[in-house]
Amino acid sequence: MLSPESLKKIDREIAKYPPDQKQSASMSALRIAQEEKGWLSSETIEFVAKYLEMPAIAVYEVASFYNMYDLSPVGARKITVCTNLPCALSGGVHAADYIKKRLGIDFNETTSDGKFTLKEGECMGACGDAPVLLVNNHHMCSWMTEEKIDQLLEDLKK
Amino acid sequence: MSSQGIILSGLDGDRTWRLADYIKRGGYEALRKIIAEKISADDVIAEVKKSSLRGRGGAGFPTGLKWSFMPRAFPGAKYLACNSDEGEPGTFKDRDILRYNPHSVIEGMIIAGYAMGCERGYNYIHGEIFEVYSRFEEALQEAREAGLLGKNILGSDFSFDLFAHHGYGAYICGEETALLESIEGKKGQPRFKPPFPASFGLYGKPTTINNTETFASIPYIIREGGDAFLALGKPNNGGTKLFSVSGHVNKPGNYEIPLGTPFADLLEMAGGVRGGRKLKAVIPGGSSAPVLPASVMMDCTMDYDSISKAGSMLGSGAVIVMDESTCMVKALERLSYFYFEESCGQCTPCREGTGWLYRVVHRIENGLGRPDDLDLLNSVTANIMGRTICALGDAASMPVQSFIKHFGDEFAFHIEHKKCLVPQDVQREGSKIYVA
Ligand SMILES: Cc1cc2nc3c(=O)[nH]c(=O)nc-3n(C[C@H](O)[C@H](O)[C@H](O)COP(=O)(O)O)c2cc1C
Ligand code: SF4
Ligand code: FES
């Protein structure tokens, strides 16, 4: 089950597509569901499928194909650092190493207090801003020097 | 960001993305002109052809010609799609266009919709730039409220609506047919072509897909004329173009310059190579384009023809600069990992081949390379290229071939001596967090 606010957002997405193409909203419906629930459990996926009148397996395929959906629980804050070549040339790997050291975790791990998960990302289309990272998929942070990373981690702990 | 061009020029202040600001800059004049002067759809396409605008998404296909492939008299819906799924490593121009001048894309799409008789368009926006997606939605709302989108645009009998579709992390959705699958709410797996999207596209209907920057160039072409646009660049390479410069330069960022500008000038605009180090190599058109050594690159001008003559591609205009502190094996390892990770897995040569490429480059980088590994890499690429559904297979192969071709010594050294020609501390210094 999703909240009425989430359903309203999903309805707005459905309205973007021709009336007989509701399934086009599956990507945004999953995004909205993940925003509310933190990650996509099979119950959530099945709920979205029912809501869009799609077979659950079709929605599951979408959820597992795209990298930004989380099919298992993640920390309250998911930090994704870009380490693709243009970023790697300009501090991307150093930034990731620094975050690993600060949080005491490696990529694909969550801190023991459940606050942070760290992920390695592919090009985010912001290579000129390297090092670049994303917080919870939606908030992009540019030019992440060690000082700015410290500041960010402080802010996110609150 | 700096501009001698038409898309990112005249952008002052923090409200440049607003409708009112765009109108002050001459925005929507092109659309108004078409409606007021009742310019025919054919004449719009003719003007675009005259401009010699070539697609800015990577393939450089002439835009006017592409538009003329759309069936004229088709009963039922036709669609338009804008490709803002910018995920080709090194490319970050569409993000700035959408952040600072979204209405140029909206106006370009409305005009395209008019020229091809489409009733609806979608802008597919890369997953990682949610903030840009939200802003684009606001810009759409502004346009709708001003009667520029929707039914009977500006009181004419032309109707067109436009929506934003948000990706969620799959590079392959930048491939145009994968993008259509994704808008249909499916896994983004490319389709076999033919049929081409102009006959069987979104929801099975005729569809044209263009890049963000391509659409953003259209208002200027209609307002000032195709000849004026052509004159900004050079023959067969009309206009100005955005170049995203990243890597080892002092001022990474977007530079909008006339096609045909010498690479040396672009490098200078981007502040030159960092720390006074020597230029080693440049990937001139996004990670899928073959790498070129410094000496070759310094003789190139930035346009489709010059870069292609030098053995690479202008692609998306993403210029990745590498200085002498770069280990070319490590650089290739990172790119090969990317293609391995992003292959959609439909075709065996791509799915298996990208895995092989990554594993072999990885073992060379880690001191486990074998004497015949370079032959192996070349034979794997030969078995991928031309044997796959989409161009990702080629995109994964071209970096491998070109890195070995131009920097083979470095690969051989790694294999023989189990270490890098470039000392580790030099590499670390060169790639550390850089504050200009
Ligand atoms: C693997 C792959 C990724 C691509 N990524 C993009 C992209 O991010 N943006 C884009 O405009 N075109 C991309 N393209 C090219 C598109 O398929 C298509 O040619 C382009 O959007 C057409 O627009 P244009 O003619 O205006 O360039 C990609 C192609 C391939 C094979
Ligand atoms: S070439 Fe690769 S990415 Fe393209 S369709 Fe085949 S498997 Fe998918
Ligand atoms: S390589 Fe990191 S954003 Fe492009």
Q: Is the CB of B412 under 6 A from ligand 1?
A: no
Regarding whether A113 and A83 lie in a shared domain, the answer is yes
Contact between chains at B87 and A83 (C-beta distance less than 8 A): no
The first and second tokens of residue B30, run together, are: 């092109």
Regarding whether A120 and A55 lie in a shared domain, the answer is no
Answer with the one of A40, A65, A90 that is the final residue of a domain.
A65
Within the 198-237 window of chain B, which residues sit less than 8 Å (CB to CB) from chain A?
A: 203
Looking at the CA of B393, which ligand is closest? Answer: 2
How would you write the pLDDT of chain A (158 residues) with one tens digit per residue?
A: 899 999 999 999 999 999 999 999 999 999 999 999 999 999 999 999 999 999 999 999 999 999 999 999 999 999 999 999 999 999 999 999 999 999 999 999 999 999 999 999 999 999 999 999 999 999 999 999 999 999 999 999 88
Q: Is B4 helix (H, G, I), strand (E, B) or coil?
A: coil
Chain A contact present for B256, CB below 8 A? no
Provide residues with CB under 6 Å of ligand 2: B 172, 190, 343-347, 350-351, 388-390, 392-393
Regarding whether A19 and A61 lie in a shared domain, the answer is yes
Q: Please, which residues have CB within 8 angstroms of residue B28's CB and are 6 or more apart in sequence?
A: B22, B103, B107, B148, B219
Q: How many domains does chain A have?
A: 2
Contact between chains at A61 and B167 (C-beta distance less than 8 A): no
The first and second tokens of residue A103, run together, are: 């949080």
CATH number for the domain including A113?
3.40.30.10
CATH number for the domain including A53?
1.10.10.1590
Contact between chains at A68 and B318 (C-beta distance less than 8 A): no
Give the pLDDT confidence score for residue B370 in this predicted structure: 96
* Closest to A30 measured CA to CA, from A114, A51, A17, B138: A51
Q: How far is B173 from chain A (nearest CA, A)?
A: 10
Q: Is residue A70 part of a domain?
A: no
Answer with the one of A32, A65, A98 that is the final residue of a domain.
A65
User: Would you say B164 and A28 are in contact if contact means Cβ atoms under 8 Å apart?
Assistant: no
Q: Is residue A127 part of a domain?
A: yes
* Closest to A85 measured CA to CA, from B91, B59, B256: B91
Contact between chains at B431 and A95 (C-beta distance less than 8 A): no
Q: For A21, which of B87, B88, B203 is closest by C-beta distance?
A: B203
Domain residues for A103? 77-157
Give the pLDDT confidence score for residue B234 in this predicted structure: 86
Regarding whether A82 and A147 lie in a shared domain, the answer is yes
Contact between chains at A85 and B183 (C-beta distance less than 8 A): no
Q: Which residue of B has its CA nearest to A125?
A: B92
Q: Is residue A71 part of a domain?
A: no
Q: Is residue A40 part of a domain?
A: yes
**Ligand 3 atom closest to residue A82's alpha carbon, by position in its atom list:** 2
Regarding whether A141 and A92 lie in a shared domain, the answer is yes
Give the pLDDT confidence score for residue B3 in this predicted structure: 85
* Inter-chain CB pairs, A–B, below 8 Å: 179
Give residue B177 CA to ligand 1 midpoint distance, Å: 10
Across the 436 residues of chain B, what is the mean pLDDT of every consecutive 10-residue run? 89 94 97 97 98 94 97 92 97 98 98 97 97 98 98 96 97 98 98 96 98 98 97 89 97 96 98 96 97 98 96 96 98 98 97 98 97 97 96 97 97 96 94 85
Give residue B246 CA to ligand 3 midpoint distance, Å: 9
Regarding whether A122 and A54 lie in a shared domain, the answer is no
For the CA atoms of B397, B340, B92, B295, what is the dihedral angle to 10 degrees? -30
Q: Is residue A93 part of a domain?
A: yes
Vertex B89, ends A24 and B172: CA angle to 5°? 30
Q: Is residue A72 part of a domain?
A: no
Regarding whether A127 and A58 lie in a shared domain, the answer is no
Q: Is the CB of A59 under 6 A from ligand 3?
A: no
Regarding whether A95 and A55 lie in a shared domain, the answer is no
Regarding whether A95 and A25 lie in a shared domain, the answer is no
Residue whose tokens read 């489709």: B304
What is the maximum span of chain A, computed from C-alpha positions, in angstroms?
Answer: 51
Q: Which residue of A has its CA nearest to B283?
A: A86
The first and second tokens of residue B33, run together, are: 């002109």
Regarding whether A60 and A103 lie in a shared domain, the answer is no
Give residue B203 CA to ligand 2 midpoint distance, Å: 21
The beta strands (E) that lie in B252-315 are given as 253-258, 261-262, 279-283, 292-293, 301-302
Answer with the one of A65, A92, A114 that is the final residue of a domain.
A65
Regarding whether A140 and A105 lie in a shared domain, the answer is yes
User: ipTM of this predicted complex?
Assistant: 0.97
Regarding whether A89 and A52 lie in a shared domain, the answer is no
